[in-house]
Amino acid sequence: MEIKIHPAKPEAYLLLTIIYQGQVGDKAKIMRIHGGYGAVNWEEVFDLPMHLWPDHGWTINIAVLPQKLLNLTFHDGEGNWDETIQFAIESP
């Protein structure tokens, strides 16, 4: 799995661009990003469709909330999930 984010350190209140390339996405007709905030019990949980960017992977822009940790995972809507990753959020 390869995840690229811009900016490299997510900042509260700013847009975060995420590009996903992975085994689940290689065969998917659709791709979704599932995420939430917090270390253990996720809060502000979301599940959003991603857009295919040919030859680059699946992409989406999300607004980052002012929390400490952002958790992301990816799925194809058919029960196939990739691993969860976590990012620390920079405060303004």
| Alpha carbon distances (Å) from 25 to 12, 39, 55, 78, 89 | 27, 26, 12, 12, 26
Dmax over CA atoms of the chain, in Å, equals 38
All structural domains of the chain with their residue ranges: 2-88
Helix (H, G, I), strand (E, B) or coil at 73: strand
Distance of CA 34 to the CA centre of its chain: 7
Give residue 20's pLDDT.
97
CATH superfamily of 2-88: Immunoglobulins (2.60.40.10)
What pLDDT is attached to residue 53?
92
Phi, psi for residue 81 in degrees, rounded to 5: -120, 150
- For 65, the 3-state DSSP assignment is coil
pTM assigned to the model: 0.93
The tens place of each residue's pLDDT in the chain, 92 residues long, gives 899 999 999 999 999 999 999 999 998 999 999 999 998 889 999 999 999 998 889 999 999 999 899 999 999 999 999 999 999 999 87
Q: Do residues 32 and 77 make contact, with C-beta atoms less than 8 angstroms apart?
A: yes
